[in-house]
Amino acid sequence: MRTPPSESSFVVSMMALHAELDARFFAHQRALLDRDFGGAAAALADYRERLWRHIADEEEHVLPRYEALGGETTDAPVRLFLGEHGNLRKFVDEFTRSTAALAHTADDRALLALLDREAVFKNLLLHHDLRERNALYPFLAERLPAAEQAAVLALRSWAGG
């Protein structure tokens, strides 16, 4: 039986990268729980850099291919991904400022407010992940030639490090 596009190795590899990003955000939140605000700031800076790189790769190399192959005619047009990327970036910049402030104040209410905002962010991220898992990457897995899929998989955000 043919493997459904959503279970193709292309999609699985793409989603593994998201799991790697999530693990780095978890490291930030774990440091917050330990009230290690310096560690939380460092982990968030690492996450931010990797998330930015991944978003840039998607916007420069993945979404243009999706658009060229007809992605705009689906329920998940490019502007949805771009809008979500913009919101994700705004949230992470806000968290960077809040975490830096916590390093000075160590205020309980500010810490709880940050965790609440991060819960909103995680919900948005979950929806974004699902849209890419169910729409963007399976669409490309079905239509993008193998050599092009390999080129996408070789982008710098998948290189780790």
Candidates 160, 159, 127, 153; CA nearest to 14 is 153
Q: Going residue by residue from 95 to 134, which x/- string records binding to Fe ion, judged by CB under 5 A?
A: -------------------------------------x--
Q: d(Cα 46, Cα 66) in Å, to the nearest integer?
A: 28
For residue 131, the minimal CB distance to Fe ion (Å) is 8
Output 41 or 54, the one with its CB closest to Fe ion.
Answer: 54
Tell me the closest approach of the beta carbon of residue 11 to Fe ion, in angstroms.
11
Cβ atoms of 43 and 24 closer than 8 Å: yes
Which residues from 28-67 bind Fe ion, rule CB under 5 A? Answer: 58
- The footprint of Fe ion on residues 65-94 (CB under 5 A) is none
Minimum CB distance to Fe ion smaller for 41 or for 136: 136
User: CB of 18 within 8 A of CB of 132?
Assistant: yes
Q: Which is nearer to Fe ion, 87 or 96 (CB)?
A: 87
**What's the rounded Cα separation, in Å, for the pair 12 and 10?**
6
Planar angle of CA 17, 10, 125, nearest 5 degrees:
40
Q: How far is the CB of 66 from Fe ion (least distance, A)?
A: 11
Which amino acid makes up residue 4? Answer: P
Which token pair is 155? 């982008």
Q: How far is the CB of 102 from Fe ion (least distance, A)?
A: 28
Binding site for Fe ion (CB under 5 A): 58, 132
